[in-house]
Amino acid sequence: MEQVTAATIKAAGKVIAVHLAYQSRADQRGRTPAKPSYFLKASSSLSLSGSDIERPAGCELLAYEGEIALIIGTAARRVSPAEAWSHVGQVSASNDLGVYDLKYADKGSNVRSKSGDGFTPFGPALIPAADIDPAALRVRTWVNGELVQEDTTAGLIFPFSQIIADLSQLMTLEPGDVILTGTPAGSSVAVPGDVLEVEVDAPAQGLSTGRLRTAVVQGTTELAEFGNGPKATDTDREDAYGSAEAAGLAPKGLSAELKRKLTSVGTATLSAQLRQRGLNNVSIDGLKSTRPELRIAGTARTLRYVPNREDLFKTHGGGYNAQKRIINTLNDGDVLVMEARGEPGTGTVGDILALRAQVRGAAAIVTDGGVRDVAAVAALDMPTFFTGAHPAVLGRKHIPWDTDLTISCGGATVQPGDIIVGDADGVLVIPPSLAQEVADAAISQEHEETFIAEMVAEGHGVEGLYPMNAAWKAKFAQWAATHPHPAAQP
């Protein structure tokens, strides 16, 4: 088979990469796109098998992504999916390398994070596209000889024909252009000394690119102050490594222990503790629960509706809109909080999407708007907090507009990641930084109130007992020694 050479690289006028294309990767990231999206890499980032890749000085998050590379054979402009594959000349292996430390610098364009010299090795061999079935290819990645990525094109969200046809709608794909078709789950961070290998093969035909080999070395030239320097957040680390656990970070969301504590006490007690800390405007008001017997605690994901305007609903309301997208990416313990402007005159969620939220593991849905199919929604295990029932569909009053931003719900400000606690008394928003402190204090308060209630039941008056004076506090201490609060310890 023909080998990738310097001439092959020189022929590549452009390098186009797909953001997210494999379902396994989408599941790992917690979101599945409705349509493909792309970014450009400099053709100068292409390199041959056996080349070194330099991790820039000061950077820690050089991530590898084993991918199938398509090399355009004949020009494609406005081609259909049915004819798209005929415009591919060869297939090869590629490694879409990038430094997450510089991802912030170009606001999503990936210019500096993905286009460094050598950041797109591909090869070593080229498989003729005419000899293979594009739906039956396999891509594998090894780090220091250990297999870390493996998937087949059967796992693609978007087939190659769709990607080629889509790109050709607005640009001519010219002979030699390279399309990187996305990476499956398993991408992570490489460090100097690592050897990365990627292979693409067609098992049914016994054809293979061979292993594309790249060695990671440490750069020594610091980035100058006249440009953006390396900067990495925990979110960048989680994305680069593939998960919070792999990055050595505490998992996002509530720990099981904190959730247990928060749901062991009532929102009335938690509200009192928040008030003691100067937080009076953290109650989402005017809601009732489909499951008032349940207490919930989880982390906020947010969705904002804007008032319906017919022309805007056509572009934002139909299809895979913001409402459906966020519900389809909820994770275990999330609470979906919706800003519906307190408008009860239409549903903001119905039985199918509420069921989908439950299947995704959501702890609850909170909306200051209405709910459709309320009997079916109330029959779910997952509670929904809402203003009232209404039979009308979403579009009567609302357009689902945007997600994961600061919103207003029931008179309270809610940010993504805030802790939401709810029961029959209401719904509270707790800043994550205060959650542990407030939970522990609420447990102590309820323990004292259990003692006070017992004393009142025995006939004692409330003067000096509620709140307790020094004498009663001493009696409480004796009582507490033999009556531990069940939520105080695991």
- Known binding-site residues for Mg(2+) equal 373
Place of tokens 């939401």: 420
CA distance 365 to 330: 11
| One-letter amino acid for residue 414 of the chain | V
Place of tokens 């430094």: 99
Which residues sit in the known binding site for substrate?
350-353, 372
Contact in structure between 326 and 301 (CB atoms under 8 Å): yes
Contact in structure between 381 and 358 (CB atoms under 8 Å): yes
Residues in CB range of 46: below 8 A, 6 or more apart = 9, 12, 15, 120, 121, 122, 178
CA distance 387 to 346: 11
* Segment (H or E) for 323: helix 322-327
Which residues sit in the known binding site?
350-353, 372-373
Q: What is the DSSP string of 181-208?
A: ----TT-EEE-TT-EEEEEEEETTTTEE
Residues in CB range of 275: below 8 A, 6 or more apart = none
Contact in structure between 69 and 180 (CB atoms under 8 Å): yes
Residues in CB range of 320: below 8 A, 6 or more apart = 34
Phi/psi for 238 (5° steps) reads -65, -45
Closest CA to 337 of 279, 276, 408: 408
